[in-house]
Amino acid sequence: MYFLTLELTGQRWFSLLAMLVLASTQFFSEKRGSCHDRRALHIFSTLVIFFYLKGLKNNVYQFLLGLPTGLALLTRSVIGFLAIAIVVVHLVFTKRRKVLWSPWFISGLALALAIPSIWYISQYRLHGAASFAAHFRFVMDKIHAESGATRWLTIFNYPEALLKYYWPWLPFLSRGCGWKSGLG
């Protein structure tokens, strides 16, 4: 969080504040002692965004963003592409489409695919085509289980979670989002 904020703002004090905010939110501090694949995905996705921002200034980072993307793919399968999707949308909206076709970015995507390929190839060698069938069945079962009508309603639980878990920083949210507020 420190380095991402430093890259975005160039201000050390603001980067330290961002770390403090993250570390002191109830949700983060409550879960810090456990490891879960979603937490690993968050770390890898943050690294992808960080490397992307660095890559706008130094092309080598466009290649390096393949490393956390590949690890995210190993951790959460196709959901690991979420941060890359965010990068692509940002590149399109900021009219930097030529980055998508740069050799650095394309080689980063190749690296991202190569990392989980090592696992899939080893599983194929051990178990044959059944390993792919089992994996895709698992992914489809997850998609089917999470695509129910009630799961889509959970997006409306997000404001409730903010009100419940993001103290003491919630009053500063409107200011941070750029909304007008009476906070100054």
Q: Is pLDDT at 10 greater than 50 in this prediction?
A: yes
Q: What is the pLDDT of residues 84-129, one digit of tens each?
A: 999 999 999 999 999 999 999 999 999 999 999 998 898 889 888 8
CA angle in degrees (0–180, nearest 5) for 31-37-40: 75
- Top pLDDT among 79 and 16 is at 16
Yes or no: say if 80 and 89 are a contact pair by the CB < 8 Å rule: no
Mean pLDDT of the chain: 81
Q: Is pLDDT at 80 greater than 60 in this prediction?
A: yes
User: In the prediction, which pLDDT does 167 show?
Assistant: 72
Q: Is pLDDT at 143 greater than 60 in this prediction?
A: yes
User: In the prediction, which pLDDT does 50 show?
Assistant: 95
User: In the prediction, which pLDDT does 184 show?
Assistant: 38
Banded model confidence at residue 154, pLDDT cuts 50, 70, 90: low
Task: Give the single-character DSSP code of 148.
Answer: S
H runs (alpha helix) in the chain: 2-9, 12-24, 26-31, 37-55, 60-64, 66-76, 82-93, 103-127, 129-146, 149-152, 158-165, 173-176
Q: What is the pLDDT of residues 25-78, one digit of tens each?
A: 776 666 555 566 677 888 899 999 999 999 999 999 999 999 999 999 988 878
